[in-house]
Amino acid sequence: MACPALGVRNGAPRRASRRTRCRAAALGAMLMLGAAAQAEPPALTMARADLAPLRSFLERSSGPQPGSTGVIELRRADLDADGRDELVMLWGLFGATSSWPALTVFRQGPQGWREAGTQDLEGQVERLELRGREIRLELRVPDPDDPRCCPSRGSASRYRWDGARLVEAR
């Protein structure tokens, strides 16, 4: 299954509806990136028109093979305490034996949602948590002897949104 509102699919036709409930995207993508399948993130309801910039971003980011991107989680939170929510999208590029996850923040402006910053991530994301202004990630990263498919070492990363970009939190 995939997130049809974002046009991310696994061969199934996209559903047309005025408002779409978008849970964290494809189960296959979650398993591929190691996300905890039993931990279901809260549903996020957005107008279909609001999703167009996210869909466009994924299409531009798909690399040489269209459809090779997928949304893993999509969350909404006020990361800079300005009273307006930002969107936090955990997404990835998927290959035959490995994947490359990234974290992108979108801000809403007069023309709708726009990409405000992206951070490439190393390894497989197992958990995404938003705490105040901080984005916390639990990852599996490769040891030197690990095959590409199967990183074995646990790692944690923290980022914060400074109002203009994602910066690593110390």
Q: Which residues of 37-73 are buried (b: 16+ CB within 10 A; e: fewer)?
A: eeeebeebebeeebbebbbebbeebbeeeeebbbbbb
Q: What one-letter code names the amino acid at 17?
A: S
Residue 17 has a pLDDT of 32
Report the alpha-carbon distance of residue 124 to residue 95 in Å, rounded. 13
Give the start-to-end residue ranges of the domains of the chain. 4-122
Give the pLDDT band (50/70/90) at residue 89: very high
- The 3-state DSSP composition of the chain as helix, strand, coil percent (nearest 5) reads 15, 45, 45
CB 90, CB 72: distance < 8 Å: yes
71, β-bridge pairs? 91
CB 133, CB 162: distance < 8 Å: no
- Residue among 166, 102, 163, 93 nearest 135 (CA): 166
Is it the case that residue 40 has pLDDT exceeding 60? no
Give the pLDDT band (50/70/90) at residue 91: very high
| Average pLDDT, rounded, for the chain | 73
Is it the case that residue 39 has pLDDT exceeding 60? no
pLDDT tens-digit profile of 130-165? 998 899 999 999 899 988 778 899 999 999 988 788
CA dihedral 165, 169, 32, 118 (to 10 degrees): 10
Residue 51 has a pLDDT of 78
Is it the case that residue 26 has pLDDT exceeding 50? no
Helices (H), the chain: 27-32, 48-60
